[in-house]
Structure 1
Amino acid sequence: MAHIDLGLDEKTLPGISGLLRYRPETAGPLLALADALLTAPNSLTRGERELIAARVSTLNECTFCRDSHSAFAAAQLDSGMALVHQVRADPTTAPVSAKLRALLGIADAVQRSGSAVTPALIEAARAAGATDVEIHDAVLIAAAFCMFNRYVDGLGTWAPDADAHTESAARIVEHGYSFRP
C-alpha cells in the first residue's frame, strides 16, 4: 500500500502510474521528460536508452521501474529480455557495443553520484564513438531515473510481477510515454 492515499485502487495503477494520476499537474512534465529522453529521435536506439533506464533502476533497487523498463527495452531489442538481463547483471560482459558499454559505465557512475563521472569515463565513451549528445543523454537518463526511482519507492507504490508489463510495453513502443488512451 502506498504511503499516501492516492484515491484509487493501486493494483489497477501500480508504480508511477498511480502517482501520475494523483498529481496530473506534475505528470505532464514528467511524461514529457520521459518521452524526450527515451522515445524522441536520437542516435541511440530506443532500446539502448531503455537499457540505461533499466540498469539504473536495477542499481537503485526499484522493482517497478526495473521491471517496466526492462520490458520496454526487451520489446525494442533484437536480443530481447536475455540481453536486458545480461546488461542488468553486468554491462561489462554483456554483448553490447563498446559505445553502449561505455555509456552504461557513465550511467552507473551517475547512479552513485554525479561527481563519480570522471574525465576518464567521458574519454572512454568518446574513444568508443559516443558523441557529446549521447554522453549528455546517458547522464540525464541516469539522473532522471534516480529521481523516478526515488519518487516511486519514496511513496511506497505497489509493483506487480515482472510479466505484467508486456501490455504497457506495447503501448509505450507504439505511442510513447505522454499518450493517454
Structure 2
Amino acid sequence: MRLSILDNGHRLRAKLFLSITSKQPPDIVKMLLYRPGFLTRPLLDLTAPAMRGPSYWTAGEREFLAMSTAVLHECPFCVDSHAELTRIAGQGEIDPSRPDAARPEVRTIQAFLETVTLNPDQIALPDLPQAAIREALRVNLVWNVVNRLANAFGFVLREGQLESGTRALHRFGYRFPGFLLAGGPADEHEDPVENMRYSVFTAPAVTDPALRTAAATGDGLPAPLQPFTEKVRDASYRLTDADFAELKTKYQEDEVYEITVAAAVGAALRSFDAGQQKLDA
C-alpha cells in the first residue's frame, strides 16, 4: 500500500472489524473501509447488484468480464482474484483460462467492453438486448474504477488471501455490514452511479471539488498532479512508489487519496457515459 492512511487510518469500528476478521486483511478491504462515505458506499451500492443481482449475464460470466477488464488494465491483483471468482461463481460453466469457450454473447460483450474501456470515442453497439448491454456497462464501470485504484495503491495478494478473500466476497455478495459504511454525505440520488459521481466530485471533502473535477480530466492541473493523474486514468499499471513520494512532498496523504480516486472514477465514468449515450441515442 502506497499510502499509510490506507493501512492505519481507519475509524475505530473499522479497526476492530479488521482485527477480528483477519490477521492480515486484504488491501482491497482496507481501502474500502477507509473513509467509506467518500467512495465506498456508492461503489458497493453499485457493485452488489451489478455482480450478483438479477441479470442477463450469469454470476460467473460477470466475474469473467471483470477479469477481462483487469487484463486491459494490467492489474495482476484483480486478474487473479476474478479468475478465481469466475471458477467459484461459474461452477464450471466458464473457464477463465479459455475465453474462446465462453458463449458467443459473452465474447461479443467482452469485445464491446474492451472498446468502452480503451477507446470510448469509437463505440459501436453490439447486437445484444439493450438491458444486457446496460448491465454489462455497470459491471465494467465498477472494475474500471477498482482496477485503476488497485494498481495505483499497489495492492498485492499475500499468502492465503486469494482463496479466503474470493470465497468471502462470493459468500457475502460484495456486501459489507452497514455499520462499517455509515457516515459521509447523504445519498442524493436513487442511482448509485450518480451518488458516486456526487460523492467523489461534489460533496465536501478535504480537497476542493474543482480540484477533484480537474483530476478527472487533467484540465488545468499543476505539476506534479497533471502527469500523475494522467497515469491513473490511462496507464495505472505504470504508477510507482516514486510517483506517490513526489506527491507527498507537496500534498497530505488524504489529498493524494482523493485526487487518485477522482482521477480513477473520472476515467471510468467517461467510458460508462459514452456507452450510455450510445444506448440512449
* Band the TM-score falls in, shorter-chain normalisation: 0.7 to 0.9
Q: Hey, what does 1:154 align to over in structure 2? A: 152
Match of 1:166 among 149, 163, 167: 163
Q: Hey, what does 1:75 align to over in structure 2? A: 88
User: Does 2:118 correspond to 1:112?
Assistant: yes
Residues 58-86 of structure 1: CA deviation (Å, up to 9, x unaligned): 11011222111221111022337x81122
Retained in 1: the 8 A contact 2:26–2:165? no
Match of 2:69 among 56, 64, 83: 56
Which of the two has higher C-alpha Rg?
A: 2
| Count of matched residue positions in the alignment of Structure 1 and Structure 2 | 164
Cα offset, 1:54, TM superposition: 0.6
Cα offset, 1:149, TM superposition: 0.8
Structure 1 segments of 4+ aligned residues over 6 angstroms from their partners: none
User: Does 2:11 correspond to 1:5?
Assistant: no
Q: Which structure 1 segments of 5+ residues have no match?
A: 88-93
Cα offset, 1:136, TM superposition: 1.4
Retained in 1: the 8 A contact 2:83–2:96? yes
Cα offset, 1:53, TM superposition: 0.5
Q: Hey, what does 1:22 align to over in structure 2? A: 34
- Identical columns (%): 23
Cα offset, 1:175, TM superposition: 2.0
Match of 1:177 among 170, 174, 177: 174
SS at match of 1:24: coil
- Greater relative contact order (Cα < 8 A, sep 6+): 1
Q: Which structure 2 segments of 5+ residues have no match?
A: 9-17, 181-281
Q: Hey, what does 2:242 align to over in structure 1? A: none
SS at match of 1:75: helix
Structure 1 residue identity aligned to 2:32: L
Cα offset, 1:38, TM superposition: 0.4
Retained in 2: the 8 A contact 1:2–1:156? yes
The CA distance in 2 between the partners of 1:58 and 1:145, in whole Å, is 11
Structure 2 residue identity aligned to 1:69: H
Q: Hey, what does 1:95 align to over in structure 2? A: 101
Cα offset, 1:157, TM superposition: 2.9
Cα offset, 1:179, TM superposition: 3.3
Residues 5-45 of structure 1: CA deviation (Å, up to 9, x unaligned): 32449x82333211112222222221121112101111210
Cα offset, 1:177, TM superposition: 0.7
Structure 2 residue identity aligned to 1:61: E
RMSD: 2.4
Retained in 1: the 8 A contact 2:78–2:147? yes
The CA distance in 1 between the partners of 2:58 and 2:33, in whole Å, is 29
The CA distance in 2 between the partners of 1:63 and 1:15, in whole Å, is 13
Q: Hey, what does 2:130 align to over in structure 1? A: 132
TM-score by length of 2: 0.53
Retained in 2: the 8 A contact 1:55–1:66? yes
